[in-house]
Amino acid sequence: MPDIEVVAPNLKRRLSGVTATVVRLIPVQARMIGIVATGPGLPPALPHIPLARAATLPRDRWRVWHARRNTEMALGLILRRILRRKYKMLFTSAAQRQHTGFTRWLIRQQDALIATSPQAASYLERPATVILHGVDLSVFHPASDREALRAGLGFAPDDIVIGCFGRIRAQKGVDLLVEAALRLFPQRPRAKLIFTGRVTPDNQAFFDAQQARIAAAGLSDRIRFLGEIPWEQVVRTYQALDLFAAPARWEGFGLTPLEAMACGVPVVAARVGAYETLIRDGETGNLVARDDAEALAAALACWLDDDAGRRAAGQAARAHVEANHAIEAEARAIVEVYRRLLA
């Protein structure tokens, strides 16, 4: 392992958007700088050290502690101020909301800040470097044999498959997408809708209500919830889609539309998070008003009813991500922040 210059903590065992960011970025950054992750629930192939070692690294040089959660900022301060480790504090924020008093205090203790969008930067009350997320184009790309892939996942050749990925909860607009599908699907027999993502206990009643609405409409065979699926299957499912929907009511950044577009899939998304920055309205998909099931249904209908236009938008989406949102550019920009802190 090369000299450790950066430690990226991940203090959450379950898969989350933040964890996914750490997992996809570090292998790319490791080709540029000596970086390791620390914490539970990370793939064994990722450059990694135990938390105990992160807490006892020698004081012979400064290193960067790159936090993405409050708990990680707090732990970094403990390591620096109590255990006297030589860590420069860096925090990346995706949140687009007013921070709590404790979070604002933690942010004031940082040596530098990164925001994943201009909107997130506006809530930090301190200067931040804006670095948009990118996508690993070697992982997310159109399938070489899409027909075979779709057949293996149980889709018919003429199905039009809409996907929505993320936890099953109201914040993600799952109920809005269900409502749109209930309006559109009776007149469009080729349309199908799949959701992937975990249902947490506090959202079980919400999930049960959506299932009941779908069953009452007689659409349980065409609107399906796949649950939390393995990462490799997530990528294959993106590649099998015809259309992606991201109707969240609020979002920090929101990476799933970029991943879908990288796989050649157009996206219909609400005007939240960084979606207005990522999606070219009318070219790589559509943007609709937040919390508006009618607008969502109208936008989906346009793409469901235009096979040629949908395929062209998918090609434009892939080209847009290739030109503007490759993960290498994100990794390089973050490494530049590391180098400034270490200079």
Q: What is the pLDDT of residues 215-232, one digit of tens each?
A: 999 999 999 999 998 877
In total, how many domains does the chain have? 2
Q: Residue 204 sits in a domain of what CATH number?
A: 3.40.50.2000
- Give the distance between the most distant pair of CA atoms in the chain: 69
Tell me the residue range of the domain where 185 lies: 146-324
Instruction: Identify whether residues 111 and 216 lie together within a single domain.
Output: no
- 2 by DSSP, 3-state: which? coil
Give the least confident one: 13-22, 194-203, 241-250, 319-328: 13-22
* Same-domain pairing of 127 and 153: no
Does residue 1 lie in a domain region? no
Residue pair 311/114 in contact (Cβ under 8 Å)? The answer is: no
The torsion of the CA quartet 335, 231, 194, 68, rounded to 10 degrees, works out to -40
227 is a domain residue: yes
Predicted structure pTM score: 0.82
Amino acid occupying residue 64: V
What whole-number percentage of the chain has pLDDT above 70?
Answer: 99
Higher local confidence (pLDDT), 2 or 219:
219
pLDDT value, residue 19: 82
Q: Residue 41 — very low, low, confident or very high, per pLDDT cuts 50/70/90?
A: confident
Q: Are residues 160 and 106 in the same domain?
A: no
Mean pLDDT of the chain: 94
Burial class (CB in 10 A: 0-12, 13-18, 19+), 80: middle
252: in domain: yes
The pLDDT of residue 118 is 87
Tokens of 126: 């301190």
Q: Do 157 and 287 fall within a single domain?
A: yes
The pLDDT of 315-333, averaged and rounded, is 95
Instruction: Give the torsion through C-alpha atoms of 228, 229, 230, 235, to 10 deg.
Output: -120
Amino acid making up residue 331: A
Amino acid at 67: A
212 and 242 share one domain: yes
Of the candidates 46, 81, 52, 87, which has an alpha carbon nearest to the alpha carbon of residue 67?
87
Q: Which residue, 316, 317, 291, 313, is CA-closest to 302?
A: 313
In a domain, 59, yes or no: yes
Taking only the tens place, the pLDDT of each residue in 200-209 is 999 999 999 9
Confidence band for 65, pLDDT divided at 50, 70 and 90:
very high
